[in-house]
């Protein structure tokens, strides 16, 4: 049986603490919950796609919305998008001052390791990423894989490197134009993002991740050649994944200093 990696990812990890997505109240405006780790994981998997495919391993990106919302009268009863506070993402690590202080060191190290430019937190963060995520689900369904993935990467690149708020429809439209979507296609993408079908698709993706034990992103659900499946969390667990998939790989090792 061929191996498969389902990568549950987001494009900003917006974690508002409020009664509904239209009226978020952020827990700490000085330490916004920006997480580029889905970005690191996506770039790493893309770099290694050819090697993975040579071993019969497929990678699929699944968009979710890791939103934390307090229970309130404006929340829709029974909706997974409005009940995460009671399950997994209610207390993001960025609300802890020590972890917030540490994150700047970890992010710089991750950028060097994954070979991407240093991340810059834009002033407008955090954002509500629900609309971009719905758009990406539509694009994934209706366009070639490469166009879907390059568009997804642009969401992070425009936010973290260009300082552009992609939660704004006009800016998101510009992003789509930059990746060669026509005006007609862009209208179709936005129309789909507000349709019941793609609202439900994002909800279903999030529920699927929760059902598999997800408590953050990136979250991976991996099937090996024996048909067995296990979860993995984070952008620094690839060696564990390769072992589980039975893939040959070179692990991190210290090179002994020459005595000459």
Question: What pLDDT is attached to residue 127?
Answer: 80
Encode pLDDT of 236-257 as tens digits.
999 999 999 999 999 888 889 9
Cα distances from 256 to residues 185, 248, 259, 260, in angstroms, run: 56, 23, 9, 12
Tell me if 37 is assigned to some domain.
Answer: yes
Alpha helices (runs of H) in the chain, residue ranges in sequence order: 37-47, 49-54, 97-114, 130-142, 145-160, 169-178, 183-193, 196-211, 238-245
Region 51-68: mean pLDDT is 86
Encode pLDDT of 108-120 as tens digits.
999 999 999 998 8
DSSP string, 42-68: HHHHHHTHHHHHHTTEEEEEEE-----
Tell me if 252 is assigned to some domain.
Answer: no
16 pLDDT more than 50: no
Contact 82, 75 (CB under 8 A): yes
Tell me if 259 is assigned to some domain.
Answer: no
Region 85-106: mean pLDDT is 67
Tell me if 188 is assigned to some domain.
Answer: yes
Return the sign of the alpha-carbon dihedral for residues 111, 115, 118, 119: negative
Strand-by-strand arrangement of the 3-9 sheet: 57-63, 3-9, 219-223, 229-233
Q: Could you list the residue range(s) of the whole structural domain that residue 219 is in?
A: 3-245
Question: What pLDDT is attached to residue 14?
Answer: 42
Tell me if 256 is assigned to some domain.
Answer: no
In this structure, what CATH number is given to the domain that contains residue 145? 3.40.30.10
DSSP state of 243: H
Greater pLDDT, 24 or 210: 210
Helix (H) or strand (E) holding 70: none
Encode pLDDT of 122-140 as tens digits.
888 778 888 999 999 999 9
Tell me if 141 is assigned to some domain.
Answer: yes
What mean pLDDT value characterizes the chain?
82
Greater pLDDT, 82 or 207: 207
Start-to-end CA span in the chain (Å): 49
Q: Calculate what percentage of the chain has a pLDDT beyond 70.
A: 79
Based on the structure, what is the number of domains in the chain? 1
Greater pLDDT, 14 or 167: 167
Rg (CA), the chain: 19
Tell me if 78 is assigned to some domain.
Answer: yes
β-bridge pairing 57-63 and 3-9: parallel
Question: What pLDDT is attached to residue 45?
Answer: 96
Contact 8, 205 (CB under 8 A): yes
Tell me if 74 is assigned to some domain.
Answer: yes
């Amino acid at each position: 049986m061929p191996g498969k990696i389902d990568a549950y990812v987001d494009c900003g990890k917006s974690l508002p603490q409020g009664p509904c997505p239209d009226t978020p109240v952020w827990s700490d405006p000085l330490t916004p919950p920006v997480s580029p780790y889905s970005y690191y994981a996506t770039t790493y998997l893309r770099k290694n796609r050819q090697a993975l495919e040579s071993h019969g391993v497929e990678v699929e990106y699944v968009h979710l919305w890791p939103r934390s919302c307090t229970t309130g009268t404006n929340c829709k009863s029974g909706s997974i998008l409005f009940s995460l506070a009671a399950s997994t993402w209610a207390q993001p690590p960025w609300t802890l001052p020590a972890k917030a202080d540490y994150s700047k060191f970890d992010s710089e190290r991750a950028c060097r390791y994954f070979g991407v430019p240093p991340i810059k937190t834009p002033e407008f963060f955090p954002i509500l990423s629900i609309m971009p995520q719905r758009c990406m689900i539509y694009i994934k369904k209706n366009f070639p894989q490469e166009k879907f993935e390059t568009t997804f990467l642009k969401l992070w690149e425009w936010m973290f490197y260009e300082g552009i708020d992609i939660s704004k429809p006009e800016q998101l439209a510009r992003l789509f134009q930059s990746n060669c979507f026509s005006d007609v296609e862009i209208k179709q993408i936005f129309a789909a993002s507000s349709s019941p079908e793609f609202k439900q698709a994002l909800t279903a993706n999030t529920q699927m991740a929760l059902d598999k034990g997800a408590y953050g992103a990136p979250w991976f659900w991996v099937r090996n050649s024996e048909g067995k499946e296990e979860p993995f969390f984070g952008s620094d667990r690839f060696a564990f994944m390769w072992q589980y998939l039975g893939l040959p790989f070179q692990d991190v090792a210290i090179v002994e200093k020459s005595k000459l």
